[in-house]
C-alpha cells in the first residue's frame, strides 16, 4: 500500500492500441487507464472491439501498434502464458471449461501442483478449497463440471484465475448468462476481490449493471475509446448514446395490426429431454398481424419450445396447429412449406451453410419452395435472382452472391437470414434473438422489416434476451420460467425491471392481470 502511495502508477495502461485483421481494423487507437484496486468497466456495443481488446490484453494475439503497460512497465505478451505470469487472469464469456473433467482438474490444468511428473491431487483439492473459502466462492472440487449450474461454472472460472495468482482479473460479459440473484452474488464477490487488493476489468453492455458496480467506465465505439467517465457523472441513457454515437433507435411498434385470425396455436405442449420435462404444458396463440414476445432467462425452455414448433424436436404431448392445420405429427419440411419462417438463435450453427455461396444459403430452408424449384430440380437462376434481391433490399454488404457465407460479418449474415425468411412470405415467423450481436444500423433495419411484415399480416413468435426489444416490438408478452408460461403481460404497461422479476420468479403469475 505504501509503495503505491509513493509511485502512483496504474495497474494497466494501454496507449494507442491498433489491431488489424484482414480487411478490418478491429482496434484503432484504444487508450485505457485502470487504477489499481478498482472495478473498471469497459462498455461498448457488440462489435465495437471489446473482445479484440481483451484478447490483446490477455496475450491471445499481439497488437499491431501501441503499448501495454502493466504496473507502469511496458510489456509484450507473446501468449496467454505471459499474461498469466504477469498476474492477469481472464474469465471468458463462453466458459473455458471441459465438461467431462472435474472441477479440480479444470482449475489446475496447465499449472498443476505436484512434482515434475506426478499430479498432487490432494494438494489441488486443498488449494481450491482454500481459495474457495477465502473469497466466498463455494464449489466442490470433485464434482464433474457438466453437472454444475451456470453460476457455479463462473465461480470455477474465477477460482481458476485466482489460483494462478492473478491480481488483475478481466471478466468478459460475466452477467450475460446469470439470473439477477446470481448477478448480485457475483458483484459481492467482485467487491471482496477488490477489497483483497485485486483489480477488476469488467466488460459489459448492460449499462445498469455497469453503473452499479464500476468505479470507472471507459466507452469504446467502432474500435476507439471515445470516453472515460465516472458512474456518478452519467446516467444509463447518456452512456448508451456515448456507446452508439447518436440518438438511440427505439424498437417501438406503432398502431396495433392484430387480427382475430389464429395463425399459430400451441396447446398443452410438453417436451422431454432425457425424461426430464423442459417444456411443461405450454399453450399459446399467435394471431395474424401479431407479435408475441416470449421473455425468459436463457435456458428456461425457449429453445426447446421453438424447436418443437419447428418440428425438429418431438413433443411428448400437446398439439400444434398452423393456420388451422394440425401439424403435430408432421415433418419440419411440411411445416416450412406451410409457411413457417425461422430465424435461429445461433445463425452459424442452425441458419447458414458457412462455406456455401450466398445464393445456396438463400435457398436453405426453402429448397422445396416453388420459388426455387422446377419439379425435382433446383432452379439456380431464380435462386440467384432472389439472392440479389435479398442483398439489395436488406442491405447485405457483400462483394457478390457467389462468396461463401462465412465471408460476411455477423450482422450481414443475420440480414441475409432475415431477408431470406421475409422474402419467402412466411405466415408464421419464429424469430429467436433476431438482433443479437449485430450493429445498431442492422438492428434498426431488422426491427423495421419485422414491423412491416406484421402490418401485412405476419404472425411472429419472438424470443429475445433484449428486454427493450421485446417490450418495444411485442403486441403481447408471455414469460417462460422453467419450461412453463408463468405470466402474460401487456408490453404497453410493463417495465424491463418488472419483466425481469417475472423472469426470475420473484413475482408470480397470480399478480398479473
Partner 1 sequence: MKRIRYAVAAPVIAVVISLLVAGIALAVSGHNPIDAFQAMGSYLKTADSVVAVINRAVPYYVMGLAVAIGFKMNLFNIGVDGQYRLAALLAAAAGAAVSFPPIIHIAFVIAVAMMVGASWAAIPGVLKVVRGVNEVVSTIMLNFIATGITAFLLANYLRDNSVKLVAQTKPLPESAWMPSLNTPLGWFGINLPKDTVLNGFLIIAIATGILIYLLIYRTRFGFDLRTSGRNPSAALSSGVNPKAMIMKTIMLSGAIAGLAGMAPLLGDYHQYGDTFPTALGFTGISVALLGRNHPAGIAVAAIVWAAIERGGQNLNSVGVPQEIAKIMQGTLLLSAVIAFEVVRRARLRAEVHDAAVKAHPRSSDPGEPLPALAGGGLV
Partner 2 sequence: MSATVLPPQPSIEMAPDSAIGRLKYLMASNAILRATVLCLGFIWVLAVARVLADAPDMTSGPTFIAAVGATSPILLAGLAAMYSERVGVVNIGLEGMMVLGTWFAGWAGWQYGPWAALIGGAFGGSLGGLLHALATVTFGVDQVVSGIAINLIAPGVTRFLSSEVFVGNGDGTITQSPTMADSIGRFTMPFTSGGNFFGWHTPNPLGWISEQRWFFISDTAGFLVGFTTDMAYTTMLALLLVPASVYVLWHMRFGLRLRSIGEKPSAADSLGVAVYKMKYIGVTISGALCGLGGAWLVLDVRAYNQDQVAGRGFQGLAATIFGNWRPVGILTGSGLFAYSQALTQRLGTNPVRALFLVAFFAFLVLAINALRRHRFPSAATLAIVAAGALLYFTSTTKIDSRIVFITPYVVTLVVLTFSSQRLRPPAAEGKPWRKGETG
Residues in CB range of 394: below 8 A, 6 or more apart = 415, 416, 418, 419, 422, 445, 449
- Which does residue 409 bind out of partner 1, partner 2, none, counting CB within 5 to 8 angstroms by kind? partner 1
Per CB under 8 A, 25 contacts partner 1? yes
Cβ proximity to partner 1, 127 vs 304, nearer residue: 304
Cβ 358 to partner 1 shortest distance, Å: 10
Kindly list the strands in the beta sheet with 73-75, ordered across the sheet, starting from the edge strand earlier in the chain: 24-34, 12-21, 65-70, 73-75
Residues 269 and 315: beta-carbon distance below 8 Å: yes
Per CB under 8 A, 346 contacts partner 2? no
Per CB under 8 A, 79 contacts partner 2? yes
Per CB under 8 A, 99 contacts partner 2? yes
Cβ proximity to partner 1, 333 vs 455, nearer residue: 333
CA distance 259 to 240: 36
Per CB under 8 A, 126 contacts partner 1? no
Cβ proximity to partner 1, 240 vs 262, nearer residue: 240
Secondary structure class of 2 (helix, strand, coil): helix
Per CB under 8 A, 226 contacts partner 1? no
- Which does residue 392 bind out of partner 1, partner 2, none, counting CB within 5 to 8 angstroms by kind? none
Q: Is 55 left (phi over 0), alpha (psi -120 to 50) or beta?
A: alpha
Residues in CB range of 30: below 8 A, 6 or more apart = 14, 16, 17, 18, 49, 53, 66, 220, 223, 224, 225
Residues 46 and 104: beta-carbon distance below 8 Å: no
Per CB under 8 A, 187 contacts partner 2? no
Q: Which of 458, 421, 432, 463 is nearest to 258 (CA)?
A: 458
Per CB under 8 A, 118 contacts partner 2? yes
- Of the candidate residues 84, 295, 358, 481, the single one contacting partner 2 (CB under 8 A): 84
Compute how many residues bind partner 1; rule: CB under 8 A.
61
Per CB under 8 A, 274 contacts partner 1? no
Compute how many residues bind partner 2; rule: CB under 8 A.
28
Given CA atoms 164, 168, 169, 170 in this order, what sign does their dihedral have?
Answer: negative
- Of the candidate residues 404, 444, 509, 512, the single one contacting partner 1 (CB under 8 A): 404
Per CB under 8 A, 338 contacts partner 1? no
Cβ proximity to partner 1, 362 vs 494, nearer residue: 362
Stretch that binds partner 1, among 187-195, 273-281, 392-400, 460-468 (CB under 8 A): 392-400
Secondary structure class of 289 (helix, strand, coil): coil
Burial of 34 (0-12, 13-18, 19+ CB in 10 A): buried
Per CB under 8 A, 439 contacts partner 1? yes
Stretch that binds partner 1, among 16-24, 178-186, 201-209, 237-245 (CB under 8 A): 16-24
Q: Which of 151, 184, 95, 172 is nearest to 500 (CA)?
A: 184
Per CB under 8 A, 160 contacts partner 2? yes
Residues 416 and 394: beta-carbon distance below 8 Å: yes
Q: Name the residues that contact partner 2, by CB under 8 A.
A: 60-61, 79-81, 84, 90, 92, 94, 96-101, 105-106, 108-112, 114, 117-119, 121, 160
Q: Name the residues that contact partner 1, by CB under 8 A.
A: 21-26, 28, 47-52, 222-223, 310, 312, 331-337, 342, 344, 348-356, 360, 363-368, 373, 376-378, 380, 397-399, 403-404, 406-412, 437, 439
Amino acid at each position: 500500500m505504501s509503495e503505491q502511495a509513493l509511485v502512483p502508477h496504474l495497474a494497466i495502461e494501454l496507449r494507442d492500441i491498433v489491431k488489424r485483421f484482414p480487411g478490418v481494423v478491429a482496434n484503432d487507437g484504444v487508450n485505457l487507464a485502470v487504477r489499481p484496486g478498482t472495478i473498471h468497466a469497459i462498455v461498448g456495443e457488440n462489435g465495437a472491439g471489446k473482445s479484440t481488446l481483451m484478447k490483446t490484453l490477455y496475450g491471445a494475439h499481439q497488437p499491431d501498434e501501441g503499448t501495454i503497460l502493466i504496473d507502469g512497465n511496458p510489456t509484450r505478451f507473446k501468449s496467454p502464458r505471459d499474461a498469466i505470469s504477469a498476474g492477469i487472469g481472464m474469465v471468458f464469456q463462453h466458459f473455458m471449461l471441459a465438461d467431462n473433467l472435474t472441477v479440480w482438474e479444470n482449475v489446475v490444468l496447465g499449472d498443476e501442483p505436484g512434482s515434475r511428473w506426478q499430479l498432487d491431487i490432494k494438494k489441488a483439492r486443498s488449494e481450491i478449497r482454500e481459495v474457495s473459502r477465502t473469497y466466498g466462492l463455494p464449489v466442490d472440487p470433485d464434482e464433474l463440471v457438466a453437472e454444475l449450474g451456470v453460476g457455479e461454472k463462473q465461480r470455477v472460472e474465477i477460482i481458476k484465475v485466482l489460483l494462478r495468482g492473478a491480481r488483475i482479473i478481466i471478466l468478459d460479459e460475466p452477467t450475460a448468462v446469470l439470473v439477477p440473484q446470481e448477478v448480485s452474488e457475483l458483484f459481492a464477490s467482485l467487491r471482496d476481490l477488490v477489497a483483497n487488493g485485486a483489480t477488476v476489468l469488467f466488460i459489459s453492455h448492460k449499462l445498469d449493471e455497469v453503473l452499479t458496480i464500476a468505479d470507472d467506465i471507459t466507452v469504446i465505439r467502432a474500435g476507439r475509446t471515445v470516453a472515460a467517465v465516472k458512474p456518478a457523472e452519467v446516467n444509463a441513457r447518456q452512456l448508451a448514446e456515448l456507446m452508439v454515437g447518436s440518438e438511440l433507435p427505439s424498437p417501438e411498434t406503432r398502431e396495433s395490426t392484430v387480427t382475430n385470425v389464429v395463425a399459430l396455436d400451441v396447446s398443452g405442449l410438453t417436451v422431454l429431454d432425457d425424461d426430464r420435462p423442459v417444456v411443461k404444458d405450454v399453450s399459446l396463440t399467435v394471431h395474424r398481424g401479431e407479435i408475441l414476445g416470449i421473455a425468459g432467462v436463457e435456458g428456461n425452455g425457449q429453445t426447446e419450445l421453438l424447436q418443437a414448433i419447428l418440428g425438429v424436436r418431438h413433443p411428448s404431448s400437446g398439439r400444434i396447429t398452423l393456420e388451422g392445420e394440425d401439424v403435430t405429427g408432421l415433418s419440419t419440411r411440411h411445416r416450412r412449406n406451410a409457411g413457417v419462417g425461422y430465424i435461429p438463435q445461433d445463425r452459424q450453427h442452425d441458419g447458414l451453410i458457412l462455406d456455401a455461396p450466398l445464393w445456396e444459403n438463400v435457398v436453405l430452408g426453402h429448397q422445396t419452395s416453388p420459388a426455387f424449384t422446377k419439379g425435382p430440380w433446383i432452379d439456380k437462376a431464380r435462386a440467384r435472382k432472389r439472392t440479389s434481391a435479398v442483398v439489395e433490399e436488406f442491405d447485405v454488404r457483400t462483394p457478390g452472391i457467389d462468396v461463401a457465407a462465412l465471408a460476411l460479418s455477423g450482422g450481414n449474415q443475420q440480414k441475409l437470414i432475415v431477408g431470406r425468411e421475409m422474402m419467402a412470405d412466411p405466415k408464421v415467423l419464429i424469430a429467436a434473438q433476431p438482433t443479437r450481436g449485430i450493429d445498431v444500423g442492422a438492428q434498426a433495419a431488422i426491427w423495421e422489416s419485422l414491423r412491416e411484415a406484421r402490418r401485412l399480416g405476419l404472425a411472429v413468435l419472438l424470443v429475445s434476451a433484449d428486454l427493450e426489444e421485446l417490450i418495444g416490438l411485442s403486441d403481447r408478452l408471455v414469460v417462460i420460467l422453467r419450461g412453463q408460461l408463468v405470466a402474460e403481460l401487456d408490453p404497453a404497461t410493463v417495465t424491463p425491471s418488472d419483466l425481469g422479476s417475472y423472469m426470475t420468479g420473484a413475482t408470480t403469475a397470480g399478480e398479473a392481470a
